[in-house]
Amino acid sequence: MMLNDTQKAWVGLNMTLAPRQIYSLVQNFSSVGQAWSAPLQTLEKLPGFERWAKAFAKRRSSVSVLSECHRIDRLGLQVVTLEDENYPQALRALSHPPPVLYAKGQIQANDAAAIAVVGTRRSTGYGRRVTVQLCGGLSRAGITVVSGLALGIDTVAHQTTLDAGGRTVAVLGSGFAHIYPPENRTLLKRIAQSGTVFSEFPIQTKPARWTFPRRNRVISGLCRGVLVVEGTQKSGSLITAKAALEQGRDVFAVPGPITHPNSKGCHYLLKHGAKLVETLDDILEELPSGFPKAQAHKTVKRPVLNETKAALLKQLSFEPSHINTVIEASGMRAAQASAVLVELEMMGLVSETENKHYVKRP
């Protein structure tokens, strides 16, 4: 991608300053190019920026925007700045939006119809099943699913959306040269084929404790609301929820077992005003008319089931049931019930989880 001079100036500023500092600087100039090249004597006289002037001038002399441009080309990235038309509109409303976004994939205006789905890296089977159920529904409703490419709930959210033919957006907590977690490199490539991967960080930025809260505010900023599926009270998901509240976004939370620590974060949010989510409709009914929720119940065509298959499917839910329990509830012989379960699994209506437990797929 060939960057123009204005974009190069934004990239240079983004390599040397935090967003708040960048806005403090550029407001004093008629163009970002002038801000980037201003001499130290001028910088030291700027109200509100004088304390950062010397450090900025020193760092500016040590970075190479040209090298960053080469890295952008090599990785096949786009650069979108706040002055570009295709900059995500939802982010413009933030108090200090990312001045620069590196992107892989296609940026689309309809991503304004988006919900973030986040949760703990140490997800439970329950959390993963709920994520599959809700993200499948959001995808079929035409709603973009945004998440953070982390292990656990984030990964399930991205994968489920892709499997359902929906659109998903990932936001990185690092630069593109240091994909984190490395296990999700293949998933990142898959997302970029039909969705978008964003990072506000210069390409060589490594994941660190300070990068993830900044990533989380972009996740929530891109969306109309944030759904937290699972998380402890110290989970990064609660940072995303807090950012959502500060940005005027809706916060949704899924209740869980009171005995499990992964439920504590969601229950904390629910006690403090988050919308309780048991079904997809709990999310859809809170969304404004501009969202494509009219499509929500235009579900993918289900195969026609005979009486036997329909009866057995009725015995299953999104909670795992052991095969013996299913057989007993169905009243069928073991061999017949096992054969029907295999057929339902091949039709994509049932999944075997572990140890002969079965769940209904959304």
- Over the stretch 38-70, which tens digit does the pLDDT of each residue have? 999 999 999 889 899 999 999 999 999 999 999
In the predicted structure, residue 175 carries a pLDDT above the cut 90 = yes
Strand order in the sheet with 321-322: 321-322, 357-360, 350-352
Q: In angstroms, rounded to a whole number, what is the distance separating the alpha carbons of residues 53 and 41?
A: 9
pLDDT digits (tens, 9 = 90+) for 107-162: 987 787 899 999 999 998 889 989 998 999 999 999 999 999 999 999 999 999 99
Residues sharing a CB contact under 8 Å with residue 188, sequence separation 6 or more, in sequence order:
104, 149, 170, 179, 197
In the predicted structure, residue 295 carries a pLDDT above the cut 50 = no
Q: How is residue 136 written in tokens?
A: 């499948």
Facing residues of 81 across strands?
100
Task: State residue 289's pLDDT score.
Answer: 64
Q: In angstroms, rounded to a whole number, what is the distance separating the alpha carbons of residues 141 and 161?
A: 11
Q: How is residue 292 written in tokens?
A: 């494509």
**Which region among 12-21, 261-270, 303-312 has the lowest average model confidence (pLDDT)?**
303-312
Residues sharing a CB contact under 8 Å with residue 180, sequence separation 6 or more, in sequence order:
149, 172, 173, 174, 207
pLDDT digits (tens, 9 = 90+) for 230-241: 999 888 899 999
In the predicted structure, residue 294 carries a pLDDT above the cut 60 = no
Mean pLDDT of all residues in the chain? 90
CA 332 to chain centre: 43
- The answer to whether the beta carbons of residues 238 and 118 sit under 8 Å apart is no
- For residue 330, the 8-state DSSP code is H
Q: How is residue 311 written in tokens?
A: 């009866």
3 state DSSP class of 328: helix
In the predicted structure, residue 293 carries a pLDDT above the cut 60 = no
pLDDT tier at 301, thresholds 50, 70, 90: low
Q: Provide the percentage of residues in the chain whose pLDDT is more than 90.
A: 69
Q: Provide the percentage of residues in the chain whose pLDDT is more than 70.
A: 95
Question: 171, 149, 165: which is closest to 223 by C-alpha?
Answer: 171
3 state DSSP class of 103: strand
Facing residues of 118 across strands?
228
pLDDT digits (tens, 9 = 90+) for 1-39: 789 999 999 999 999 999 999 999 999 999 999 999 999
Triad 90, 91, 94: Cα angle to 5°: 115
pLDDT tier at 318, thresholds 50, 70, 90: low
Facing residues of 104 across strands?
197
pLDDT tier at 304, thresholds 50, 70, 90: confident
Task: State residue 322's pLDDT score.
Answer: 87
Report field, pTM of the whole predicted structure over 0.95: no
The string of DSSP codes covering 186-232 is HHHHHHHHHSEEEE-S-TTPPP-TTHHHHHHHHHHHTSSEEEE-S--
Q: How is residue 313 written in tokens?
A: 């499917």
Task: State residue 250's pLDDT score.
Answer: 94
- The answer to whether the beta carbons of residues 50 and 42 sit under 8 Å apart is no
User: Alpha-carbon dihedral of residues 161, 167, 170, 176, nearest 10 degrees?
Assistant: 120
Q: In angstroms, rounded to a whole number, what is the distance separating the alpha carbons of residues 91 and 83?
A: 12
Rg of the chain over Cα atoms, rounded to whole angstroms, equals 24
Is 349 or 151 the better-scoring residue by pLDDT? 151
- The answer to whether the beta carbons of residues 35 and 26 sit under 8 Å apart is yes
